[in-house]
Structure 1
């Protein structure tokens, strides 16, 4: 078996399975229970100092 055929067979089977499992794991990680507050905090972080700018040297509230 030449190298091309071997790599193609590997990519068609095991690498495809590995990438599908990685994709599903990423989805489960993003939608896991308890992650909603983290996602909301990340989404709203750009609005923390919307009304008044942060003072020089002031650390942002976390």
Structure 2
């Protein structure tokens, strides 16, 4: 039971902070300058004829 409590305390404090920072990083990566051209290229991949 001690491991459970330790993991729960970690998830309640530092784990939440880590997940929030990861989420903000993903949003910043998606909205970065120059990302639109790469997103448009990736969106066209299924439509390309081989």
What TM bracket, shorter-length normalisation?
A: 0.7 to 0.9
Detail structure 1 runs of 4+ shifted over 6 Å in the superposition.
none
What does the per-residue CA deviation read over 1:3-59, in whole Å, with 9 as the maximum and x for residues that have no partner? 33222111100011101101110111111110101100110122222xxxx4xxxxx
User: Where does structure 1 lack aligned partners over 5 or more consecutive residues?
Assistant: 55-62
With structure 1 as the length reference, what TM-score do the two structures score? 0.66
Q: How many residues align?
A: 49
CA distance in 1, matches of 2:20, 2:40: 27
The structure, 1 or 2, with the larger RCO (C-alpha pairs under 8 Å, 6+ apart) is 2
User: Where does structure 2 lack aligned partners over 5 or more consecutive residues?
Assistant: none
CA RMSD of aligned residues (A): 1.4
Larger helix share, 1 or 2 = 2
Residue of structure 2 in register with 1:44 after alignment: 44
Give 1 or 2 for the bigger CA radius of gyration: 1
